[in-house]
């Protein structure tokens, strides 16, 4: 069935259409937030498919896995037919992983390689530091060393190059030695860390470019935050036809601290002198008032080139800038305002229309308890990811051992779960012994319990017995994976269930949780996710197999279920905080989002709160790049469509000592020109404003009668005195004085004012 091209171009403006249909081989689409870059890129992919390009010949790199999912959904709406499922689409890391799984053997990467996530890397480094008795002075802890290594790798500097450069400078530092040992340990456990995934893929494609000889077009979103290695990958992906489209916005580059290279935009023009640049200048996301304010912030950067940006929406409501007595009062003010807005607008805003964007995860500590107090359903996109929960990690680590028992990292983590009378001392002893003898822990313990060792190990007699049990569990699970019954099903859930039963995991989890905690449901959720993942895999939705190219494909004798398990584990390791399970909606009102600003990139919400706008938080006290911090605030502000609230507490309290400390509005917002653009009062809601909200959100407006009704019935006021007053400590304003309306309802959530 021919594809309806009009559907792809429908609703796009002139420059967007030009970009979508451009015949330019190398295209840079540079434009401010909300100008439709992502939408244009998505349409361009659809356009290519409509013109007969084969989906598996197109690589699309997005910033998160969720973004690629959304992109696929949109493409599916435009062209249908399931073509989107065969695109090679995902983050750089997941695309690289797919190539390494299929072709890694060409550069001697064993197919069952595991992925070391940041916590694995830190564990390895901690062990190296201990083993060599390196002093851990300030700034020399495992986390710091890990990020230094990561930065070097992102700049393509191998350990040998690093050591060489230090020698030239007559330096002989411990860091180089740690780096070297770290690489060795990863290799012996058959692990690749996040940076290795990209670097090794680069090696692969340099040596075997045929792996990507089918690629006709490469498209990249959020290009301003790519690093040098990703840039090289882009060139290699595209080597055959040299067709590249990137979209980006230098004003939104916020990952410099992780070695993102803003210079990539310029380098691209040097490498490809025929680069065509298209600018988009209309903003479709935000009200003009929000846009003006955001521009006022970013324009404080005097080194930044001036550029055009025009609002397409009317002026709307001025952003609110508010000072609160304390972080706790700030949190309650936010909630009160959300409830007031919902009541005043006849609930055209759902909770899912609201985001609270924070500079760092810690700020959520003041907000979460209040959300719970007022029973507002929310999800937190910061801090602990679903797959990083302790009870989930154990299961994943067990599975990693099943797939690859030589993964000593994973093995050391689960060998004593549930407790097998192996203290952390004996485990460390085992790891050290294995290291000394040049074997993996798995080989060591297998030989040990068989009595095949010529040397002493730290294993005691009772320990030996439980180790044999452990070994048996792993071997049995491996056999189950291979068994005819299971192998062809491609579903890993039964494997997980059988494993958990063997280790009596439910009992372990429930007896090791704090009172009031309920962790087992998370494990059950993991099993649900595994089933879903495998179903999608079978349907070719999540990750179609890479097409065969002229490069030597991988003759696989693996069972379907083993392949699925490998992919499931890679998926878990590469998941970002955003990729956890969705929170259940209670009543169709949706779930509010609390997210770090970094994780909010590329997204939009009708109502955005940015609390904690004080010096020390943004700009952050640990950052020395003021311009990047300003851009971060700009990214936060430009997520908002209709209403933007900035706030800060004027007094902080130290968590440990309880000392009070004054805090000040950050300089970015204190500038003279900004004040007239903002208000400290609550926005007045009228039928007209409701109409304008609906327009910006592209939603139906509630009927005039309904609006009148809710406005009259509610008569709620912005409680100026309440928000500024210092509440007596320890009281929680459960019922807020909103003209006698009891906002808090103990059961059944907040419904029906």
Find the binder of ligand ATP among 8, 27, 31, 496 (CB under 6 A): 31
In contact, 549 and 211? CB cutoff 8 Å: yes
Q: Is 276 helix (H, G, I), strand (E, B) or coil?
A: strand
8 A C-beta contact, residue 437 and residue 444 = yes
Complex with Mg ion: residue 253 or 407, whichever CB lies closer = 253
The DSSP bridge partners found for residue 661 are: 652
On whether the CB atoms of residues 101 and 568 are closer than 8 A, the answer is no
CA distance 200 to 650: 49
What are residue 58's DSSP bridge partners?
A: 217
Does 32 belong to an annotated binding site?
yes
- Piece of the chain touching ligand ATP by CB under 6 A; list 31-39, 77-85, 156-164, 475-483: 31-39
Residue 285 or 342 with smaller CB distance to ligand ATP:
285
The reply on whether position 43 binds ligand ATP by CB under 6 A is no
Contacted entry of Mg ion, ligand ATP, none for residue 39, CB cut-off 5 to 8 Å set by kind: ligand ATP
Q: Which does 34 bind (CB under 5 to 8 A by kind): ligand ATP, Mg ion, none?
A: ligand ATP
**By CB under 5 A, what part of segment 551-610 binds Mg ion?**
602
Q: What is d(CA 281, CA 296) in angstroms, rounded to the nearest whole number?
A: 17
CA 297 to chain centre: 26
Rounded least distance, CB 32 to ligand ATP, Å = 7
13 or 188: whose CB is closer to ligand ATP?
13
Query: Minimum distance between the CB of residue 672 and Mg ion, rounded to whole angstroms?
Result: 31
Cβ 20 to Mg ion, closest distance in Å? 15
State both tokens at 517. 């905690």
DSSP state, 457?
-
Annotated binding-site residue? 34: yes
CA–CA distance, 271 with 640 (Å, rounded to integer) = 36
Per-residue 3-state assignment (H helix, E strand, C coil) for 504-552: CHHHHHHHCCCCCCCCHHHHHHHHHHHHHHHHHHHCCCCCCCCCCCCCC
Residue 97 C-beta: closest distance to ligand ATP, Å:
25
Return the half-sphere exposure (C-beta side, CA atoms, 13 A cut-off) of residue 530.
Answer: 25
Output 319 or 405, the one with its CB closest to ligand ATP: 319
- Select from 26, 34, 64, 569 the one that contacts ligand ATP (CB under 6 A): 34
Angle of helix 424-437 versus helix 441-450 axis, rounded to 10:
100
Number of residues that bind ligand ATP (CB under 6 A): 18
Q: Closer to ligand ATP at the Cβ: 89 or 431?
A: 89
In 561-711, beta strands by DSSP E: 592-596, 605-610, 640-649, 651-653, 660-662
Q: Is 748 part of any known ligand binding site?
A: no
User: Any binding-site annotation on 682?
Assistant: no
Q: Which is nearer to ligand ATP, 38 or 595 (CB)?
A: 38
Asked if 12 is part of the footprint of ligand ATP (rule: CB under 6 A), the reply reads: yes
Count of alpha carbons within 13 angstroms of residue 372, beta-carbon side? 7
Residue 583-622 contact track with ligand ATP, rule CB under 6 A, x = bound: -------------------x-x------------------
The answer on whether 38 is annotated among ligand-binding residues is: yes
Q: What is the C-alpha radius of gyration for the chain, rounded to an integer number of angstroms?
A: 28
Q: Does 319 bind ligand ATP (CB under 6 A)?
A: no
> Does 43 count as an annotated binding residue?
no
Q: Which is nearer to Mg ion, 38 or 719 (CB)?
A: 38
- Which residue, 31 or 129, is less far from ligand ATP as judged by CB? 31
Cβ contacts of 434 within 8 Å, gap of 6 or more: 408, 440, 441, 443, 444
Contacted entry of Mg ion, ligand ATP, none for residue 606, CB cut-off 5 to 8 Å set by kind: none
Cβ distance to Mg ion smaller for residue 37 or 153: 37
Q: Of ligand ATP, Mg ion, none, which one sits near residue 190, judging by CB under 5 to 8 A according to partner kind?
A: none
Q: Which does 111 bind (CB under 5 to 8 A by kind): Mg ion, ligand ATP, none?
A: none
35 is an annotated ligand-binding site residue? yes
Q: Mark residues 21-50: x for contact with Mg ion by CB under 5 A, - for none.
A: ----------------xx------------
DSSP 140-183: -SHHHHHHHHHHHHHTT--HHHHHHHHHHTT---HHHHHHHHHH
Instruction: Confirm if 39 and 247 have CB atoms less than 8 A apart.
Output: no
Question: In the complex with ligand ATP, which residue's Cβ is closer, 71 or 563?
Answer: 71
Q: Is 319 among the residues that bind Mg ion (CB under 5 A)?
A: no
3-state secondary structure of 346: coil
- Shortest CB 604 distance to ligand ATP, Å: 6
- Stretch 272-301 residues interacting with ligand ATP (CB under 6 A): 284-285
Nearer to Mg ion, 63 or 609 (CB): 63
The least distance separating ligand ATP from the CB of residue 40, rounded to whole angstroms, comes to: 7
> Of 584, 580, 655, 648, which is closest to residue 619 (Cα–Cα)?
648
Kindly tell me which of 405 and 602 has the beta carbon lying closer to ligand ATP: 602
User: b/e string for 526-543 if b means 16 or more Cβ within 10 A?
Assistant: bbebbeebbeebeeeebb
Among 3, 28, 30, 36, binds ligand ATP (CB under 6 A): 36
Residue 352 near residue 641 (C-beta atoms within 8 A): no
Residue from 4, 10, 11, 472 in contact with ligand ATP (CB under 6 A): 11
Question: 410-429: which residues touch Mg ion (CB under 5 A)?
Answer: none
| Cα separation, 260 vs 224, whole angstroms | 8
Residue 692-731 contact track with ligand ATP, rule CB under 6 A, x = bound: ----------------------------------------
Binder of residue 64, out of ligand ATP, Mg ion, none (CB less than 5 to 8 A by kind): none
The nearer residue to Mg ion, 38 or 593, going by C-beta atoms, is 38
Give the residue from 79, 72, 69 showing the smallest Cα distance to 8: 79
Q: How many CB atoms lie within 10 A of CB 671?
A: 12
354-393 footprint of ligand ATP as x/- string (CB under 6 A): ----------------------------------------
Helix (H) or strand (E) holding 403: helix 390-403
249 binds, among ligand ATP, Mg ion, none (CB under 5 to 8 A by kind): ligand ATP
Q: Which does 12 bind (CB under 5 to 8 A by kind): Mg ion, ligand ATP, none?
A: ligand ATP
194 binding partner (options Mg ion, ligand ATP, none; Cβ < 5 to 8 Å by kind): none
In angstroms, rounded to a whole number, what is the distance separating the alpha carbons of residues 246 and 625? 26
Partner in contact with 408, chosen from Mg ion, ligand ATP, none, beta carbon below 5 to 8 Å by kind:
none
Is 33 annotated in some ligand binding site? Answer: yes
The interface with ligand ATP within residues 221-260 (CB under 6 A) comprises: 249, 252
DSSP string, 693-723: HHHHTT-PPPPHHHHHHHHHHH-----HHHH
Kindly state the tokens that stand for 719.
């409680």
Query: Which residue from 495, 617, 505, 490 is spatially nearest to 542, judged by alpha carbons?
Result: 490
322 binds, among ligand ATP, Mg ion, none (CB under 5 to 8 A by kind): none
CB of 533 to ligand ATP, least distance (A): 27
Token look-up 């916590």 returns 119
Task: Choose the contact partner of 35 out of Mg ion, ligand ATP, none; CB within 5 to 8 A by kind.
Answer: ligand ATP
Sequence-distant (≥ 6) Cβ neighbours of residue 253 within 8 angstroms:
224, 225, 260, 262, 628, 631
Q: Which two tokens stand for residue 502?
A: 């063997």
Residues in touch with Mg ion (CB under 5 A): 37-38, 602
Numbered residues of the known binding site: 31-38
Numbered residues of the known binding site for ATP: 31-38
Residues in touch with ligand ATP (CB under 6 A): 11-13, 16, 31, 33-39, 249, 252, 284-285, 602, 604
């Amino acid at each position: 069935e021919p594809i309806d091209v009009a559907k792809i171009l429908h609703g796009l403006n002139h420059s967007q259409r030009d970009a979508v249909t451009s015949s330019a081989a190398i295209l840079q689409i540079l434009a401010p937030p909300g100008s439709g870059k992502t939408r244009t890129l998505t349409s361009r992919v659809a356009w290519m498919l409509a013109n007969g390009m084969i989906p598996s010949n197109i690589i699309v790199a997005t910033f998160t896995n969720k973004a690629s999912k959304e992109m696929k959904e949109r493409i599916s709406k435009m062209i249908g037919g399931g073509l989107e499922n065969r695109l090679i689409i995902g983050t750089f890391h997941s695309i690289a992983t797919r190539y390494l799984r299929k072709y890694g053997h060409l550069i001697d990467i064993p197919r069952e390689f595991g992925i070391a996530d940041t916590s694995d890397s830190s564990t390895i480094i901690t062990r190296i530091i201990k083993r060599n008795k390196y002093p851990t002075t300030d700034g020399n802890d495992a986390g710091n060393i890990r990020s230094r290594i990561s930065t070097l790798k992102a700049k393509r500097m191998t350990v040998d190059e690093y050591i060489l450069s230090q020698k030239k400078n007559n330096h002989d530092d411990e860091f180089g030695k740690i780096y070297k040992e770290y690489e060795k340990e990863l290799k012996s456990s058959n692990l690749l860390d996040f940076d290795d995934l990209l670097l090794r893929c680069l090696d692969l494609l340099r040596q075997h470019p045929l792996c990507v000889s089918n690629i006709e077009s490469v498209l990249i979103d959020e290009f301003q935050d790519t690093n040098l290695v990703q840039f090289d990958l882009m060139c290699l992906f595209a080597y055959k036809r040299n067709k590249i489209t990137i979209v980006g916005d230098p004003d939104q580059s916020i990952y410099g601290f992780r070695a993102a290279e803003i210079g990539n935009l310029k380098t691209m023009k040097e490498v490809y002198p025929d680069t065509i640049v298209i600018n988009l200048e209309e903003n479709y996301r935000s009200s003009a008032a929000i846009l003006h304010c955001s521009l006022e912030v970013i324009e404080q950067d005097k080194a930044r080139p001036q550029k055009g940006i025009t609002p397409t929406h009317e002026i709307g409501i001025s952003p609110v800038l508010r000072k609160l007595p304390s972080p706790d009062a700030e949190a309650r003010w936010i909630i009160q305002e959300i409830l007031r807005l919902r009541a005043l607008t006849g609930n055209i805003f759902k909770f899912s229309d609201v985001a609270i964007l924070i500079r760092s995860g810690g700020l959520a500590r003041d907000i979460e308890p209040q959300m719970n107090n007022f029973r507002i359903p929310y999800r937190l996109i910061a801090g602990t990811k679903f797959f990083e929960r302790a009870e989930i990690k154990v299961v994943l680590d067990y599975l990693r051992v099943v797939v690859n028992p030589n993964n000593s990292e994973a093995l050391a983590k689960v060998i004593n779960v549930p407790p097998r009378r192996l203290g952390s001392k004996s485990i460390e002893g085992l790891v050290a012994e294995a290291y000394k003898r040049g074997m993996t822990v798995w080989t060591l313990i297998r030989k040990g319990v068989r009595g095949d060792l010529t040397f002493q190990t730290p294993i005691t007699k009772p320990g030996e017995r439980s180790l044999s049990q452990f070994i048996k569990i792993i071997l049995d699970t491996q056999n189950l994976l291979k068994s005819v019954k299971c192998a062809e099903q491609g579903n890993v859930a039964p494997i997980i269930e059988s494993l958990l039963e063997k280790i009596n995991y439910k009992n372990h989890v429930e007896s090791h949780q704090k009172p009031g905690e309920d962790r087992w449901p998370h494990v059950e959720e993991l099993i649900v996710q595994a089933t879903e993942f495998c179903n999608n895999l079978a349907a070719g939705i999540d990750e179609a197999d890479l097409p065969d190219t002229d490069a030597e494909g991988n003759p696989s004798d693996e069972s379907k279920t083993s392949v699925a398990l490998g992919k499931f584990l890679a998926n878990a390791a590469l998941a970002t905080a955003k990729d956890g399970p969705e929170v259940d909606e209670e009543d169709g009102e949706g779930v509010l989002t609390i997210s770090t600003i970094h994780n909010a990139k590329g997204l939009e919400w009708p109502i955005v709160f940015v609390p904690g706008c004080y010096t020390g938080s943004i700009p952050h006290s640990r950052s020395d790049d003021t311009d990047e911090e300003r851009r971060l605030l700009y990214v936060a502000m430009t997520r908002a469509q209709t209403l933007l609230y900035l706030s800060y507490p004027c007094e902080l309290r130290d968590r440990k000592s309880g000392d009070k400390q004054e805090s000040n509005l950050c300089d970015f917002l204190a500038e003279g020109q900004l004040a007239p653009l903002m208000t400290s009062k609550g926005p007045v809601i009228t039928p007209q404003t409701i109409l304008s909200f609906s327009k910006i959100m592209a939603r139906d407006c509630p009927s005039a009668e309904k609006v009148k009704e809710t406005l009259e019935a509610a008569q709620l006021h912005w409680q100026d005195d309440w928000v500024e007053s210092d509440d007596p400590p320890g009281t929680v304003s459960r019922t807020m004085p909103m003209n006698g309306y009891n906002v808090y309802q103990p059961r059944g959530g907040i419904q029906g004012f």
